[in-house]
Structure 1
Amino acid sequence: MKPNGRVVVVTGGTRGVGAGIARAFAETGAQVLVCARRPPDAPVPRTRFQPLDVRDADAVRHFFTALPRLDVLVNNAGGAPHRPLAHADAERHLRVLELNLLAPLTVSLAAHDHLRRSRGSVVMIGSVSGSRPSPGTAAYGAAKAGLENLARSMAVEWAPDVRVNTLVVGMVRTERSPLHYGDDDGIAAVSRTVPLGRLAEPSDVGAAAVFLASRAAAYITGASLLVHGGGERPAFLDAATANREN
C-alpha cells in the first residue's frame, strides 16, 4: 500500500482535508506537490507548494505540461459557503459548480496524458452532500453528485490505463469546523449523530486516498468509497424513541 517514489498532485492541498491527504502520501515516500490559490499558513512537511487556480483552464494546462511525470491526481479543491438557493442568483451558484465539478474535469483532462503513461490513478474527493438533500449548499451537493457520476464514466473511458475512484466523505474535523458546527460543545453534539461517535480526521481521508491509489486497490475503478463513520443517525429514530418514552 506504499506508493514510494511516485509523484502525487493534490489540489487544494494546503489545509484541512487536502493537507491531511498530502501528509498521508508524503508519509509513504511519495513526491507530493500541493497546489492552491494561496500558500499554506503552515507548510505540510515533505511536500512542495505551487500556486494554481484550478478554475483557470489555461493555467491548469500549463501546470501539468510542465510536470515531468505524474502517477496520482487527487481532486480535492472545492467547497462552498452556506447560501440558501433563493438568496443568490444563478450566476453566483454557478461559481460553486465551476469549482466543485468543472474544475476537477479540467484538471483531470490536463493530467490525462501523464496518468496514461504511468498507468496511474485519479481520486475524486466527493461528499455525502451529493447523495442527500443539502439545504443551504444545494449547488455544492449537486456538483458533488455530478462529480461522482463523472468519475464512474471517466473510469470506463480511461480504462485500463487509468483508474478513477471517488471518496465520499462525511463530516471532517478541521481548523474550519467551528464555522460549521460551533464550539467544542457543538462539535461534540454533532459527533454524537455519527455512528462511530466522532467526526473524521483529515488523516482518515488521507489513509483512504492512499489505499485507492495503491496496488492494493489495483482492481478497483469506478468505485465510491464511503468515508463517513457510518453515516448519520436518522432523525426519525430519535423522534420515535422520544415518542415511545412519552
Structure 2
Amino acid sequence: MDFGLAGRVAIVTGGTRGLGRAISTALAQQGCVVIACARSEPESLPEGVEFAALDVRDPDAVAEFVETVAARHGRLDIIVNNAGGSPPSDAATASPRFAEAITRLNLLAPYYLSRAAFPHLEKSPGAAIVNIASVSGIRPSPGTSIYGAAKAGLLSLTKSLAQEWGPKSIRVNAIIVGLAETETSADTYGSEATRAKVGQSLPLGRMATGDDVARAVLYLVSDASEYVSGAWLNVDGGGERPLFLDIVKGG
C-alpha cells in the first residue's frame, strides 16, 4: 500500500530498536527520509534509515539536532516521539531523581522535540506528529506508576497541541500501544510459553508487533488521516480482559 509519503523527512526517536525500528523501517520503505535518533549507535540500521546520536531529554541538544536535520534536508514533515520506557520501581521507595528521569524521557522529551520542530512543521503541507503512548497511561500501572503518569500526561499533551497547532495545519495524534512483543519482551513478560499465554488472553489472541504499530503510524502521518488530529488510536488487540471476570467465573 502506497501512503504517499515519498520525499517527506521524518524523525523517529528511539528509532533503532524495538517498536521504533519497525516504525523507521516502514517510513523508509514508503520513501521517507528517516533519521532515527538514540543515545548509542546500533550495530545495524534498516535500509534507508540515517542514525543520529541524541539524548532526547536534553532540550538544547534536541533544538540543535532539529536545526541540523532541517538545514541538511531542507524540510521537516514528520515527528514520531517513540523513545520511552521505565524499569519496574516501587512507588514508595523510588527516588526523586528516578521519578524526574522517567518523566523527562516519557513526557518532557516529546514536548522538547515537538517544540523544536514546530517552526519547520508549520511550513510543511503534510506536517504530522505521532506520540507513542501506552495502555499504562489509561489504566492503573502498579510497579511503573511514574511511567504511567507520564504517559497519561503525553496523551493530554497530544490533545492540547492538536488544538494549539491545528490552525498551523500541524496534526498531532497518539497511539496507545497495548502489550507488545519486542526484543526485550522476555524481561517484561517472561518465557516464550508465558508470553504466548499472555497473548492468548487478548481478544485477538496475540500481543502487538512492531509492524502493527508501524502501520498505524503510516496512517496517522499520511493524507489518509488529513482530518484526524487529537486522536488516541488504540493498538491493543481489543484490550486486556478485566480480571474480575475470571474471578467471578472461577467462583
Task: Calculate the TM-score normalised by the size of structure 2.
Answer: 0.95
- Specify the code of the residue in structure 1 equivalent to 2:165: W
Query: Where does residue 103 of structure 2 map in the other structure?
Result: 97
The alignment of Structure 1 onto Structure 2 pairs a total of residues equal to: 243
- Specify the code of the residue in structure 2 equivalent to 1:199: M
Query: Where does residue 206 of structure 1 map in the other structure?
Result: 214
Query: Where does residue 79 of structure 2 map in the other structure?
Result: 73
Structure 2 CA distance, aligned partners of 1:237 and 1:148? 28
More moved, 199-208 vs 233-242: 233-242
- Specify the code of the residue in structure 2 equivalent to 1:91: R
After TM superposition, which residue ranges in structure 1, 4 or more long, deviate above 3 angstroms?
none
Query: Where does residue 227 of structure 2 map in the other structure?
Result: 219
Deviations 1:199-229 (A, max 9, x none): 1110110000010000000000011000000
Query: Where does residue 175 of structure 2 map in the other structure?
Result: 167
- Specify the code of the residue in structure 1 equivalent to 2:107: L
- Specify the code of the residue in structure 2 equivalent to 1:32: V
- Where do 5+ consecutive residues of structure 2 fail to align? none
Query: Where does residue 149 of structure 1 map in the other structure?
Result: 156
Query: Where does residue 6 of structure 1 map in the other structure?
Result: 8
- How far off its partner does 1:50 sit? 0.7
The DSSP-based 3-state class of the residue aligned with 1:236 is helix
Structure 1 CA distance, aligned partners of 2:175 and 2:4? 18
Structure 1 CA distance, aligned partners of 2:65 and 2:96? 30
More moved, 168-177 vs 90-99: 90-99
Query: Where does residue 43 of structure 2 map in the other structure?
Result: 41
The correspondence for 2:236, drawn from 228, 233, 238, is 228
The DSSP-based 3-state class of the residue aligned with 1:136 is coil
Query: Where does residue 129 of structure 2 map in the other structure?
Result: 122
- Specify the code of the residue in structure 2 equivalent to 1:159: G
The correspondence for 1:63, drawn from 58, 62, 65, is 65
- Specify the code of the residue in structure 1 equivalent to 2:113: V
Structure 2 CA distance, aligned partners of 1:184 and 1:89? 33
Structure 1 CA distance, aligned partners of 2:77 and 2:17? 22
Structure 1 CA distance, aligned partners of 2:43 and 2:217? 23
The DSSP-based 3-state class of the residue aligned with 2:123 is helix
- How far off its partner does 1:189 sit? 1.4
- How far off its partner does 1:29 sit? 1.0
Task: Calculate the TM-score normalised by the size of structure 1.
Answer: 0.97
Deviations 1:105-153 (A, max 9, x none): 0010000011100030100001110011001100000000000000100
Structure 2 CA distance, aligned partners of 1:139 and 1:2? 38
Structure 2 CA distance, aligned partners of 1:80 and 1:88? 12
Structure 2 CA distance, aligned partners of 1:211 and 1:141? 25
- Specify the code of the residue in structure 2 equivalent to 1:58: D
- Specify the code of the residue in structure 2 equivalent to 1:98: R
- How far off its partner does 1:42 sit? 2.7
Identity %: 48
- How far off its partner does 1:91 sit? 2.3
The DSSP-based 3-state class of the residue aligned with 1:172 is coil
Query: Where does residue 54 of structure 1 map in the other structure?
Result: 56
Query: Where does residue 31 of structure 1 map in the other structure?
Result: 33
